[in-house]
Each structure stands twice: as structure tokens, then as C-alpha cells.
Structure 1
Amino acid sequence: MIAALRSALDRTPMRLYAVGMVSANAIGAVIVFVLARFVLPLPVGSEEILSDRNYLAFFVYLPVAIAIGIGLGLRVAAPLVRWLHTGGTPSDETAIAVVRLPLRQLGVHVLLWALGVAVFVSVNASAGAALSIIVAIAVSFGGLATCSLGYLVAERTLRPITAAVMEVGAVTDSAALGVRLRVVLIWVLSTAIPVLGLGLIGLGRLIDTVIPPDVDLSPAMVSLSAVALVVGFGGMFLVGRSVSDPLQQVSSAMQRVEAGATDTRVDVYDASEIGRLQNGFNKMVVGLDERERLRSLFGRHVGHDVAQRALASAPRLGGESRTVAVLFIDLVGSTAMAERESAEAVVELLNRFFAVVVEHGERHGGFVNKFEGDAALLIFGAPVDHPDPATAALRTARTLAVALASDGGFEIGIGVTYGPVIAGNIGAESRFEYTVIGDTVNQAARLTDLAKDDPNTDVLTSSVVLDHATADERKHWQTGESVTLRGRSAPTTLAAPVHPGRQSATP
């Protein structure tokens, strides 16, 4: 047990706890000495009796009280000391015992000081009831100060250990005093009973039983009032801090969460309503963190614009007619590469390819609607309106071709079209996706196929797209021949960048 105690006391919270308990009892003893020796009015001729008998009783009772206090203190702290010595995960019983330790230590103090009152009253009984009552009041004042300060100091110094055991132990609400009972208890110990003692002294003077009528009570009443005020203020200050500190902790954590730090957590070191608040905050932030991860994952899968739209309103099946620009891009030779390269190498290449596509598409306000094997479909003008979709799509096509050529020499085909589409949620009630369908999309795919086979350029569009682009953007394009695309009856006038192939382009 001595080795275990030494191991426990090596830890800062336990050292502070032990020092706090000794200090609380020392403060109580000083209060008793000052009250009995200098403050409380004593019956005539009792000074010598008080000195001789009570000094002797003090030196006899002190080692007995220390032995009892250490024994009971080790008993109530045994689960904590044992856990600190052995380590590991605390059991539920250990967790509850740690949370209840301040309350049990309060019980030890109450027992020791109640026993002290009984001892000193008995020692002074033969000198008359008056002296016994005065001594009882003095010892009671010291005991009340010790009990109040001891409980609050224990609760505060053990917070780090309480937080550690509450992370893994099952602690119920009944394991500790609630905030209301805590405040009432400290008020009773530090204010109500001392004031009651003052009232008893005044009552004793009125009935001439304890204090003779010729004794001036002014110094005693002023001194006792000062003690009651100091002890009461100290007790209420500490109990106020025990409530305000965790509230400030949660408030600061809420500000960090509001700033985006959803990984914020607070220590749970109380089994009362405060602990439920701390634990509830942590659960709330866990939910927010999970929701934020889902939002991020959702946005990566379907696009952030679609994700925001779905979160802002209940998504439903159906579509709407929109005029958009469509960019379709396809990688050349990926099928043959998949036959000769490992799956890991193919995936690495595709990810590098799509990273460039997404970067340039989003830079110009495009929405990456889907990846189809080694191809990607970008939409400008849905689901979010775009001020100039045709210009943005053409500029993306030019800069994207240059970037892919310089980053690994990708061979690609890009087709850009402009026109009406049906945009909306397509699928079933249980599973659907946002996409666009229509002849404009099909035409972009056909242009991409032509661009892949064209020896002079890897980007093709139509004159219709140029007609809806700005004059500045049209300078970078030149029209060519007219062809009839597969699935269409009317011919399409093609257009390509002024500098075909993989030459640098003006962004």
C-alpha cells in the first residue's frame, strides 16, 4: 500500500489533492485556535482551564485524528490509488469511485471534525456548559471551513483524473452531486451554519446562559462575521468556478467549431449536469464532424454544386430545360494501355489525367458531371447558372489541351457544343444522379471522336458555339469544313483552335 501510495503521489493531481486536504484541515485548525483563544468571549476564570485541558486534548487527539484520517482517506481513495499504480483501463466501479471521491472525502472530514467536537466538549464539560458551548462553536467553525474548502479543492484538483476515467468508465448521473445540491451544500457549510452560530451566541447573551451580561460581544461578533464572510466567499467563489470554468471551456470550444474546427473536443470531468453538457457537446461535434465528412465526400462524388443544391432543398426526380455548353474529353489509347500495363499503373495515369481535367474545368466555372472510364463530361451552365458558358467551355478546351500535352504528353480528343439540354435528377427514387441529356451532349461526344482521329488538332467545336462566345475568345478559333455527324441530318461546321495540336494557348 505504501508503494502504491508513493506511485500515486508522484502524479501532479494526486499531489495537489493531498496538499489540498492537509491545507484545508490546517486552515480549520487555525480558525479554531484564533476563535477560542482570542475572539470568542470566555466565562470568567476559564482561560487557564482552556489552555491546560485543551492543549493536552489537542496533542492527544491530533495523532489519533491523523491516523483515522489517513486510514479512511486511503480507504475511500483505494480504487484510484490502485488504478494509478497498476495502470490499464479503469473498471466502471473505479470510475464511479473516482467521481465520488470528493464527496467521500467530505464524509471523512465531517466524521473527524464531529468527533473533534465531541472530544473537546467532553474535555471542557466539567468546567461548565458555557465553556463547552464556546469550544463547540469554535471547533464547529473550523470544521465547516475544512469541509467546504476540502470538498471544492478535491473536486478541482482531481479533474484531470476524473476526465481520464470518465472517457472509458460508465459513470451515471447519480455518481456525483448535481450543481444545485453542490451550491446548497457549500452555502450551508460556509454561510448558513456560521450565521446560525452567530445567532446562538446572541441568543446565549439574551438568556444569560452562556455569556454574562457584562461581557462585550462586539469583538467576537465582528470577528465571527469576518470569518463567515471570508469562508463563505471562498466557498461560493470556488463553487462558482466549478460551474463557470466548464461553461467557459464549452463556450470557447463552440467558437472553434464555428470557425470550422469540427475535431474540437472538451474534457468531461464531471458527472453532474455539467458533465452531461460537456458530453453532449462532444456528441454534437462528433455528429457535425461526421456530417461535414459526408458533405465533403458527397461533394467529391457528385460535385460540390450538386451537393449544395441537394442539401439546400429536397432533391426529387425530374429535369428542366437549360441552355448550356458541353465539353466532352476522351483519352486516346487507354484500352491498349490497360492490356499491357498493371491495373495500378492504369489507375495512377487516369487519376493524373482527371486531376488536370477537374482543375481546369472548375477554374472556368465548369461542373464535372461524370467520369466514364477514360472520358469526362463537363457542363457549363448547370446546375448553377453561368454568365458566359460558351466562352468558358472554349477557353477550358484550349487551356486543357495545352496542360495535358505538357503533363505527360496525353493524347486526347475534346469536343465542345452549345445548346439546350434536359438537366436534372435521373434514375429511381432510391438511387439517382444529376446529369444532362440531349442532342447537345451527343454532339459533343461525336466531335470528340472526330478530334481523336484528326491528325491536325485534338480539339473540335462547332460554329454555333463560336457564335455565342465573346469576340476575344473567337480570335483563338478558326472554322473549317462542314460534316454531318453520326445521328444528325444537318451538317455541322467545325472549328478548331488557331494553333492546333499541342502548342501553347493564351488563357
Structure 2
Amino acid sequence: MADRDTLAQRLDRTMQRATGQKRGIAGSPEYGSWLLGTPGEAPRKRRVRIQLLMTGALVAANLIGIIVAIVLVVVAVPEPSVFSPDVWWVSIIVAPAYILLALVTGVAWLTGRTVKALRWATEHRAPTREDQRRTLATPARVSLMNLVLWLVGDGLLTLLYGLHDPSFIPKIALVVFFCGVVVSAACYLFTEFALRPIAALALDAGRPPGRLSSGITGRIMSTWMFTTGIPVAGIMFAALFTIILHNLSATQLSVTVLFIAGFAMVFGSGLMWVAAWMTSNPVRTVRQAMGRVEQGDLSPTLQVFDGTELGELQRGFNSMVAGLRERERIRDLFGRHVGREVAAAAESKDLELGGEERFAATMFVDIIGSTSLAISRPATEVVDLLNRFFAVIVEEVDAQHGFINKFEGDGCLAVFGTPNHVPCPQDSALAAARSIQQRLREELAEVDAGIGVSAGRVVAGNVGAHERFEYTVIGDAVNTAARLCELSKSVSGRLLATAETVRGASPEEQQFWENGQEIVLRGRDQPTRLAMPI
């Protein structure tokens, strides 16, 4: 019984949710941060927000990298000095000029590429495969462009300093290269983070063309290489050059190691945190959504905003929940057509043709004068009237834990005691019949209906063929209820039951009934004692 109640509750919840709209995880930002705005934000406003966020983050990362490079060149590795009389113009004029030119060029390129990549989102149109590819490839392109600018500057400064003194070559080349690689890694992570709202729209249009990233493993290993591997390599090279060239004292080497290690710890730990957060956030949203699904709520729909395996996880969750919603919808339709009790029984065990003998009470309800009713009223009005009529019957039968076995035109058959068990089928059937009689008089005065109630042994089960069958009840109690329903149309109360059914009811229910005359029902040889409400 508990399983069937659970099924009915699930069906009720499903229908309540069917009229609702999709919503994200309650209390959880769709993209993982308030910095990225809301899903309902205007596209143009979102574009401006993303451009400002990307520009600010990339400029800040590059300025930090430039400062670190200057400190390493001037303080950590002071010899040879970049301010010597022969090369001061490179440090004072060429280097600042290139830094300014690179920043302007990088920002201009970034703005142009971003506008081009996000044009489809601004124009309120679905992305093409090329739009998807361009949008999801933007972080890698931004990072590559940033690295190219650092490498060009590295080559230029190494050449100019090296023409004066070859000992500048390893110092300038390694320091600038080291800073450029780490900053480029930071630019990739920041750009990927900033583009999450647009990536969500692009990924929502379908599976992206080809593999545009190396996945979670590639993201983590690349971050480790840029934040830990390369700094460690820088320390190794500093020690190696000291051994080979003897250009650093023990104190200078110690200072160099401290600067590189400190930079790696501070900047590297920040990048590792960003990479870890970007990996854990999609998993966290899936976990929260799974918690709601476990509680029976099938409404969550995740925003797919990651191009790695995590995006596939989000997409897979959405597919799973969509399948569960479809399953619940079909289950609800099945329950509405055959009855929720029958649906629950079908779900709990294999369906088989055949039946079993059960004691049950049956009730027939049929409208009086349905033919004239259909002729005198428009078809839509007749259907609306029938729906209101059957709504009363279904509510009262459900209240007594009965089962609507079938609707037949303007009448129906209700059964109490099968397939679900009730303590006293007679009590349930007689109480439901009285309530239906009273409500029809009060709520549907324009409809007159006869009601017949009988109880006895019936055969209940699946009847038909393996390809098509239905649950039904067969027996003398069913036939008797049908005959009493016809006879009740000619009596004032419009409700008749067999006296035997009333005798089997509890004293609390018997007090509402009185015995009437005996009558031979159609198709019978022996008379049947009638009972009717007092």
C-alpha cells in the first residue's frame, strides 16, 4: 500500500511540475559567480560586462608579470646590469615603448576578436557550428596571442642586450620567457572563466564541433606545468648557469631562488585555485541538482557552461532528467487511463492475463435522459457537463479508496476492494454512493443520475489478449449493480442497494439505510431485497 501511495504522490508532483517552467538550482548562480551576471541579462549588457572583465583581468595579469620580470632582472639577477651606460636606452626607452605597444595591441586584438566571437549572441540568433568553434576556442587564442607578444618582446630584448654583452642572453631570455608563459596560462584561465555565459549559450545549441580542449586532465596538467613546472625549471637553470658561467654569487643565487619560489607560490597557488574551482563548480551544481532529483523534484535543468568532460556531465544530467520526466509523464498518462492502483500493480510485478476471486463492492452510476441532453445542448457544453459530473464521482470514489474501473459514455463502474484493499468494501461503496447523490443534487442540479450498489464475490484481473488487455471485474455483484442502477432511475432517491450489501456494512453505515421491497431483477429468478437511503 505504501508503494502505491508513493506512486500516486509522484504522479501528483509530476503533474504539478508539468505546468511550471525550467529553473536552475535554487540559491546557486548558473555560471558559478555573481561577476558573470544572470541568465536573463540583456545580451549587449552581458557582452560589455565580459569585455570589461576580460580586459581588466588580462591587463592586470600582464602588469603583474612585467613587474615580476623587472624585479627578477634588476634585483634577483643584478649582473650584468641592465642600466649600464651602453644599454640604458634599451631599458629606459625600448622596453617601456614595447610594453605600451604590446598592451595596446593586445587589448585592441582582444576587443576585436571578442566582438566577432560574440556577435551571434548580441544579434539574438542561434550559433552556427563556426560560431560555436570560434567562441569555445577564444580562451586558447587569447592565451596564444598573449604568449606571442611576450615571445616577440623576449626575442627583441634578448637581441638588443645580447649585441652588447652575450652574458645578457640567458638572463633576459629565461626571465622574460618564464614570466610570459605563466601570465599566458593565467590569461587562458581568466578568459575561460569570463566567457562562461557565452559558452553556455554555445553549448546549449548542441555538441560542439570536434574537441576544442584537452579536457580536465589537460587543464590540470597545464596549470601545474605553468605554475610549478616552469618555475622549478627556472630555479634549475639559474643554478646551472651559476655553475657554468660563474656569474652569480651565493647570495645572488639565493635571492634569485627566493624570488622565483615566492612568485611560484603566490601566483601559482592563485592559478591552481582558479583551475580547481573551475573544475569543482560544475560538479557541485550537478551534485545539488541530484539531491533535488533524489527528493522527487524533476524540474532542475543545468546550464552547460564547460567545454571539457564536465560539460558532458552536465549535458548527461539534463538528458537523464529529461528521460525521467518523460517516464513520469507516461506513467501519469498510464495511471489516468487504467487507474493509479492498476498502474502501481503493473509497475510492481509482471503483467499476466487472468484473474483472481475477490470480495468487492461495485457501484454503477448512469445519467438519466442522456440522449435528450445531448440533443438539446451544444456538444462542447455536453462534454463540459460530463466532465463536471465525472469529477464529482472520481473525487468521492478516491475519497473512499475505490477504483474507477471504466467510463461508459455517460456512466461509469466503480469497484471497492480490488485491486487495492479496503477494510470494508460495503462501507466504502455505500458511503461513496450517498456522497455522490448529495453532491449531484447540490452542485449539478441540471444532471439527474441513477446509482446502484451491490457486493459479493467477483473475478478481478486482466482480460483480453497479450497485445491488448485491460483490468476489469466480472461477477454477479457487477450485474446486480447494473440492474439496480437502471431501476433507481424510476425511484425518487435515485439510489438503490441490495439489503445484503447493507447488512454486511458496519453499524455506523447501516444507520443511514432502510430496507425496501423485494423485486425480481431483470435476468433473475429469485427476488432481491432492496435498500435505500433514509
TM superposition score normalised by structure 1:
0.92
The aligned residue for residue 99 of structure 1 is: 136
* SS of structure 1 residue aligned to 2:525: coil
* SS of structure 1 residue aligned to 2:233: helix
Using the alignment, how far apart are the partners of 2:410 and 2:443 within structure 1? 16
Correspondence 1:147-296 to 2 at 5 A: 147-207=184-244, 209=245, 211-213=247-249, 215-296=251-332
Correspondence 1:339-354 to 2 at 5 A: 339-354=375-390
The aligned residue for residue 71 of structure 2 is: 34
* SS of structure 2 residue aligned to 1:48: coil
Using the alignment, how far apart are the partners of 1:205 and 1:35 within structure 2? 15
Pair 167,9 (structure 1): closer, same or farther in 2 beyond 3 Å? closer
Pair 45,473 (structure 1): closer, same or farther in 2 beyond 3 Å? closer
Alpha-carbon offset, residue 479 of structure 1: 0.7
Match of 1:417 among 454, 462, 467: 454
CA offsets per residue over residues 80-101 of structure 1, 9 Å max, x none? 1432454422211011110111
Using the alignment, how far apart are the partners of 1:384 and 1:113 within structure 2? 77
Is 1:14 matched with 2:51?
A: yes
Using the alignment, how far apart are the partners of 2:491 and 2:110 within structure 1? 90
Match of 1:55 among 92, 97, 110: 92
The aligned residue for residue 502 of structure 1 is: none
CA contact (8 A) 1:323 1:421 kept: yes
The aligned residue for residue 134 of structure 1 is: 171
Is 1:112 matched with 2:172?
A: no
CA contact (8 A) 1:9 1:15 kept: no
Pair 86,477 (structure 1): closer, same or farther in 2 beyond 3 Å? closer
Using the alignment, how far apart are the partners of 1:159 and 1:446 within structure 2? 70
What letter corresponds to residue 242 of structure 2 in structure 1? R
CA offsets per residue over residues 202-221 of structure 1, 9 Å max, x none? 112223x1523464422221
CA contact (8 A) 1:427 1:433 kept: yes
Pair 213,31 (structure 1): closer, same or farther in 2 beyond 3 Å? closer
Using the alignment, how far apart are the partners of 1:448 and 1:8 within structure 2? 69
* SS of structure 1 residue aligned to 2:526: coil
The aligned residue for residue 314 of structure 1 is: 350
What letter corresponds to residue 108 of structure 1 in structure 2? M
The range that moved more, 363-372 or 261-270, is: 261-270
CA contact (8 A) 1:96 1:175 kept: yes
The aligned residue for residue 516 of structure 2 is: 480
Alpha-carbon offset, residue 20 of structure 1: 2.0
Correspondence 1:386-401 to 2 at 5 A: 386-401=422-437
The aligned residue for residue 28 of structure 2 is: none
CA offsets per residue over residues 324-352 of structure 1, 9 Å max, x none? 01011111122111011111010011000
Alpha-carbon offset, residue 135 of structure 1: 2.1
Pair 420,336 (structure 1): closer, same or farther in 2 beyond 3 Å? same
Using the alignment, how far apart are the partners of 1:46 and 1:338 within structure 2? 103
CA contact (8 A) 1:8 1:81 kept: no
Using the alignment, how far apart are the partners of 1:481 and 1:102 within structure 2? 91
The aligned residue for residue 383 of structure 1 is: 419
Using the alignment, how far apart are the partners of 2:45 and 2:516 within structure 1? 87
Pair 198,485 (structure 1): closer, same or farther in 2 beyond 3 Å? same
* SS of structure 1 residue aligned to 2:453: strand
The aligned residue for residue 301 of structure 1 is: 337
* SS of structure 1 residue aligned to 2:462: strand
Is 1:323 matched with 2:352?
A: no
What letter corresponds to residue 278 of structure 2 in structure 1? S
Alpha-carbon offset, residue 482 of structure 1: 1.0
Alpha-carbon offset, residue 51 of structure 1: 5.0
Match of 2:483 among 441, 446, 449: 446
Using the alignment, how far apart are the partners of 2:105 and 2:468 within structure 1? 72
Alpha-carbon offset, residue 167 of structure 1: 1.7
Pair 388,8 (structure 1): closer, same or farther in 2 beyond 3 Å? closer
Pair 462,214 (structure 1): closer, same or farther in 2 beyond 3 Å? closer
Runs of 5+ unmatched residues, structure 2? 1-42
CA offsets per residue over residues 332-389 of structure 1, 9 Å max, x none? 1221110111110100110000000000110011111111111111111111111111
TM superposition score normalised by structure 2:
0.87
Match of 2:393 among 357, 368, 375: 357
Runs of 5+ unmatched residues, structure 1? 1-5, 499-507
Pair 424,86 (structure 1): closer, same or farther in 2 beyond 3 Å? same
The aligned residue for residue 496 of structure 1 is: 532
What letter corresponds to residue 146 of structure 2 in structure 1? H
Pair 9,338 (structure 1): closer, same or farther in 2 beyond 3 Å? closer
The answer to which structure, 1 or 2, has the higher relative contact order (CA under 8 A, 6+ apart) is 2
Alpha-carbon offset, residue 302 of structure 1: 1.4
Is 1:406 matched with 2:442?
A: yes
Pair 213,30 (structure 1): closer, same or farther in 2 beyond 3 Å? closer
CA offsets per residue over residues 91-142 of structure 1, 9 Å max, x none? 1101111011111111111211111211111121034333332222321232
* SS of structure 2 residue aligned to 1:212: coil
Using the alignment, how far apart are the partners of 2:529 and 2:320 within structure 1? 59
The aligned residue for residue 144 of structure 1 is: 181
- Equivalent residue pairs, number: 490
Alpha-carbon offset, residue 449 of structure 1: 0.7
What letter corresponds to residue 398 of structure 1 in structure 2? R
CA contact (8 A) 2:403 2:416 kept: yes
CA contact (8 A) 1:477 1:497 kept: yes
What letter corresponds to residue 432 of structure 1 in structure 2? F
* SS of structure 1 residue aligned to 2:167: helix
What letter corresponds to residue 263 of structure 2 in structure 1? V
What letter corresponds to residue 428 of structure 2 in structure 1? A
CA contact (8 A) 1:27 1:142 kept: no
Using the alignment, how far apart are the partners of 1:212 and 1:18 within structure 2? 38
CA offsets per residue over residues 45-83 of structure 1, 9 Å max, x none? 554356542232212312442454246535654641432
